Chain A
């Protein structure tokens, strides 16, 4: 179960991560069009923020899997694996799941509404449909919740047995 979730997050995380490449290319395309051909496009601005938002929002579940979300390890590092597991288990149940579930419901409604009324962006004359962009938030919550289950099981296991199922390295910042 845990392995399956982790593999799922790895896979979706990799898809999301490749979005970085189109992000680079799209912005470079705009740079070339504007500064070389003096013909700025109307769609790049929207596509840029949409890609960037998709990368960091949808990537957050992958980041959770990799232990990238920073903790205050001032005390955390000195505690035993068992204590850490207990803290994480409690925090996942009390903090993580309730707030993300609520946020999922709220933002899903917003995205659904945007879909129903065919809401369009008013930031640029290109006016793309907004619902896929807005759907990113509930999707992020969903991915985080799925990965959260795996993390909860892992921390629960650590709390019970004092053995880490996987060790997470600190991310480079």
Chain B
């Protein structure tokens, strides 16, 4: 271990210690990056910091972050969630535990229209909890259903977390999106089975909607569904469909989604100047927080990488006499533990780059790993005592004590762990969909005249274990640079994908 590597290790430990104190992480990282950098390689650090900043500012892919957040806020303003909720409630009224199912389904669909968690838990809390309390639903299960369902927003595309994670792991965001669908729907299904099962065994936990409150006219039901559900589904299909089909980049799809949501809001007569202003302001605050942290953590990461400590950590961890799977489980458990005190932006941007070389060297499928991390972080949203979603819910539902909410969330945390286990045991849950998409793209590529290699599939295949190991251990292959490389690769991947996909679109008629 050289002096510089030691300095880097000290830098890492100081960082973890200092950010626990509670000053905004972005500025702490900037300060530590500049100070330690100045100590070790003088004024070069300022240029390094400057180029990292400009580099982040030029990453067009990340423009999807504000756009998807904006889309989520507008969708919320348009009252689409309320409509969705009403429509599902009318449809499912006779079922035992109807409201549980309504909450989960509404949350799942809404998760496909928004990239963050806050809105979903808040809105579900406001809408569902009064009815649940009135009709005598079990408080613990209700709180658990709302918080667990609401947190799906961070996992199911268009999750902002996955956009930020793509460049960090050096995989196309499209692949991550495709990979997150399986686990997302798996979780929704597990929640549903659990809740309906409990309600079926003991109807007192969640009675069906009383007969007199049900809507009996089929016309009215169809009308609610047509007006409340169909437009939103169309918007989601257009946005996510175009990304997954490789027709549009995430940025383009996000912009179209944002515009579509605005049009829907106008159509429902819910768009006001004040509402619009609130939406752009909230978008700016949230996007700025995530992206400024991306900038400063990149500066920190670049200094850290130059000191060479990342390689040292990788070598040290690989020297441990453990099989790869155990190492992977260790990394996941570590991320879960970090998820307690830290919010996801800190984990994805600050800590994930540190684990990245280790996981690369272990030759795991990065897309699968990304999906696994996403589910783990979503679980962290549900883990007492510092779970964000409990905080959101408590703000809007005064009747439930924090203790009740925590107990409810705990039951769902167990379900989450079951889901993580399933994804580890059967990676197909996550990889099936992206693999099919990639195969489709490859099939077209073979037919296409140009034989350009690379594209979506090239990151994960062919390289032998030793090769990857050497890659990971080579001097320049350090965390910060790997990150940059990932971004470049991503951009290239995007371009190539666009180029490669076109033939498919044109060929379909044949």
| A166 on the B face (CB < 8 A) | no
User: Does B63 sit within 8 A of A, measured CB to CB?
Assistant: yes
| Interface pair A99/B34, CB less than 8 Å apart | yes
Q: B291 in the interface, Cβ–Cβ < 8 Å? A: yes
Tell me the bound Cα distance from A23 to B251 in angstroms: 10
Which residues of chain B come closer than 8 Å to A23, judged between CB atoms?
63, 66-67, 255
Q: Are A56 and B280 in contact (CB under 8 A)?
A: no
Q: Which of B137-194 contact A (CB under 8 A)?
A: none
Whether the Cβ atoms of A110 and B57 lie closer than 8 Å is no
A27–B180 Cα gap in the complex (Å)? 25
Question: At the interface, yes or no: B341 with Cβ under 8 Å from chain A?
Answer: yes
**B117: which of A13, A35, A102, A172 is its contact (CB, 8 Å)?**
A172
Residues of B within 8 A of A71 (CB): 22-25
Q: Are A107 and B53 within 8 A (Cβ)?
A: yes
Q: Is B433 an interface residue (CB 8 A)?
A: no
A120 proximity list for chain B (CB < 8 A): none
A126 part of interface (Cβ distance < 8 Å): no
B residues in contact with A37, CB < 8 Å: none
Chain-A contact segment, one of B386-394, B413-421, B461-469? B386-394
A90 CB, nearest partner CB in chain B, Å: 9
In this complex, the member of B35, B259, B287 whose beta carbon has the largest number of chain A beta carbons within 10 angstroms is B287
Q: What secondary structure prevails in chain B residues at the interface with A?
A: helix
A133 and B56 alpha carbons, distance in the complex (Å): 12
A63-B63 in contact (CB<8A): no
Contact of B82 with A by CB under 8 A: no
Report, as a range, how many residues of chain A touch the other chain.
Answer: 35 or more
What's the nearest-Cβ distance from chain A to residue B110, in Å?
A: 14
Question: Chain A contacts of B342 at CB under 8 A?
Answer: 72
Residues in A neighbouring B293, C-beta threshold 8 A: 69-70
Which residues in A have their C-beta under 8 angstroms from that of B295? Answer: 57
* Contact (A17, B284) CB under 8 Å given A69-B24, A71-B23: yes
Question: Inside 8 A of B290's CB, which chain A residues have their CB?
Answer: 56, 173
CB–CB B60/A107 < 8 A: no
Residues of A within 8 A of B24 (CB): 64, 69-71
Q: Name the one of B31, B54, B118, B255 contacting A28, with C-beta atoms under 8 angstroms.
A: B255
A111–B167 CA distance with the chains assembled, in angstroms:
27
Chain B CB count within 10 A is highest, among A23, A76, A106, for: A23
Closest to A172 in B: B118
Q: A21-B280, A49-B57, A106-B50 are in contact. Are A95 and B31 (CB under 8 A)?
A: yes
Contact among A69, A74, A75 with B25 in the assembled complex (CB-CB below 8 Å): A69
* Chain B residues, Cβ within 8 Å of A76: 21-22
A29 to chain B, nearest CB (A): 9
Would A63 and B21 count as touching, CB distance under 8 A? no
A103–B343 touching, CB < 8 Å = no
Cα(A102)–Cα(B270), bound, Å: 46
State which residues 284-308 of B face A: CB under 8 Å: 284-293, 295
The answer to the question of A43 belonging to the interface, with a C-beta cut-off of 8 Å to chain B, is: no
List chain B residues, Cβ under 8 A from A84: 22
Return chain B residues, CB-CB under 8 Å to A30. 252
Q: Does A16 contact B (CB under 8 A)?
A: yes
The reply to whether A91 and B28 form a contact with Cβ atoms under 8 Å apart is: yes
CB-CB under 8 A from A28, the residues of chain B are: 255-256, 259
The answer, yes or no, to whether A88 is at the interface (CB within 8 Å) is yes
Point out residues on B near A: beta carbons under 8 Å: 19-28, 30-31, 34-35, 46-47, 49-50, 53-54, 56-60, 62-63, 65-67, 70, 116-119, 122, 247-248, 251-252, 254-256, 258-259, 262, 277, 280-293, 295, 340-346, 386, 388, 391-392
Other A-B contacts than A71-B23, A87-B23, 12 sampled, CB-CB below 8 A, are A14-B281, A18-B280, A24-B70, A27-B251, A57-B295, A59-B288, A62-B288, A96-B31, A133-B57, A173-B289, A173-B343, A173-B388
- Rank and list the top 5 A-B pairs by shortest CB-CB distance, nearest first: A172-B118, A76-B22, A27-B255, A53-B57, A52-B63
